[in-house]
Amino acid sequence: MKHLLKLQDLTQKEILELLNIADQLKFEKKNGIAHPHLAGKVLGMIFQKSSTRTRVSFEVGMYELGGTALFLSSHDLQIGRGEPVQDTARVLSRYLDGIMIRTFEQEEVEGLAKYGSIPIINGLTDYAHPCQVLADLMTIREYKHSFQGRKLCFIGDGNNMANSLIAGGIKMGMEVSVACPDGYRPDEALCRWAGENGVFTCTPDVLAAAANADVIYTDVWASMGQEDEAEKRRQVFGGIYQVNDAVMAAAKPDAMVLHCLPAHREEEITEKVFEAHADEIFEEAENRLHAQKAVMVKLMKA
Ligand code: CP
Ligand code: NVA
């Protein structure tokens, strides 16, 4: 494993290894055991979109691993003025030990990996959010203790989260269902792959997707970069693609609820369901830190 660009690139064994390292790092942190695996290393963090969790968890994570993280806003980098990604990759590879990038195009992240010579970590693109889903899988395992035979249901826009949950869920042997409106389906090639490699359904019917689910997951209707479509999307998704009491009644009685955050209460999830599952959702947010530290240790430790 040289990079983390999307979860499809990883084997089940590699994902399990990352989750095991993450559990170990979480244990060490909770018990005050230092783990300076990346002493002297420097991570560059390129952000072309906003972030609370990703930025802070990578920066704190690098600090806790004994290294340093540099926040690089694309507005201040020459990449924001059109310097090609091929050149940026080759220059930054000579200064840094790893790059985390949050941007729009998946191709930009793949380009950094192709032309650079250091590990590249995808911190969210329009296509994928693998770091988030590693934290999600870690949280699911904490609460449910297994993946095999579990059903993961995603309700909402077929966006980066839906794509990465499909990839991660199927890789770990979970049944995955997606409820989304026609026209807002996840990546078609990925849906085909999921159908060929596991139990996968994609339907406009929210209650059918939620039936018997162990994990209910949702995300915003309009992602970063789609602000102009927010009103139209409110009309398409509103009142239907929402995690509420009816969805929870269709799921297993002990179903857990996850949300990558930020959440829009009374849009994709009701305040009531959100608060009833706040412990799970904020454990999930905490696990971003541990899961990403695991990724950095795996990719950047000499
Ligand atoms: N879930 C997530 O990636 O949050 P941020 O946008 O705050 O980083
Ligand atoms: N789908 C959301 C996820 C944010 C973590 C977005 O891309 O804005």
What is the DSSP secondary-structure string of 186-226? PPHHHHHHHHHHS-EEEES-HHHHHTT-SEEEE--SS-TT-
Residues 88-106 have a mean pLDDT of: 97
For residue 182, report the distance from its CA to the centre of ligand 1, in Å: 26
Section 181-187 average pLDDT: 98
Q: Clarify whether 55 is annotated catalytic.
A: no
Alpha carbon separation from 122 to 99, 103, 134, 206, 271 (Å, rounded): 9, 9, 12, 30, 31
Q: Is the pLDDT of residue 74 over 90?
A: no
Q: How far apart are CA 139 and CA 265, in angstroms?
A: 22
Q: Whose CA is nearest to atom 7 of ligand 2?
A: 223
> Which atom of ligand 1 is least distant from the CA of 261?
1
Catalytic-labelled residue, pool 153, 180, 191, 260:
260
Tens digit of each residue's pLDDT (9 = 90 or more) over 224-260 = 999 999 999 999 999 999 999 999 999 999 999 999 9
Centre a 10 Å sphere on the Cβ of residue 36 and count the other Cβ atoms it contains: 11
| pTM metric for this prediction | 0.98
Which one-letter amino acid corresponds to residue 167?
A
Confidence band for 75, pLDDT divided at 50, 70 and 90: confident
Tens of pLDDT, residue by residue over 54-71, are 999 999 999 999 999 999
Ligand 1 near 201 CB (within 6 A): no
Distance (Å) of CA 39 to CA 22, 26, 113, 213: 18, 18, 23, 42
Q: Hey, how many other C-beta atoms are within 10 angstroms of the C-beta on 72?
A: 21
CA of 285 to the centre of ligand 1 (A): 9
| Per-residue pLDDT tens digits for 98-147 | 999 999 999 999 999 999 999 999 999 999 999 999 999 999 999 999 99
Q: Is the CB of 54 under 6 A from ligand 2?
A: no
* Confidence at residue 263, expressed as pLDDT on a 0 to 100 scale: 98
Ligand 2 atom, smallest distance to 124 CA: 7
Largest CA distance in the chain: 54
Whole-number Å distance, alpha carbon 54 to ligand 1 midpoint, is 5
| Residue 89 Cα to chain centre, angstroms | 23
- For the chain, percent of residues with pLDDT exceeding 70: 100
Active site residue 260: yes
Which pLDDT value is given to residue 302? Answer: 85
Average pLDDT of the chain is 97
Q: Whose CA is nearest to atom 4 of ligand 1?
A: 53
> Among this protein's residues, is 219 annotated catalytic?
yes
Rounded to 5°, the CA angle 245-250-252 comes to: 105
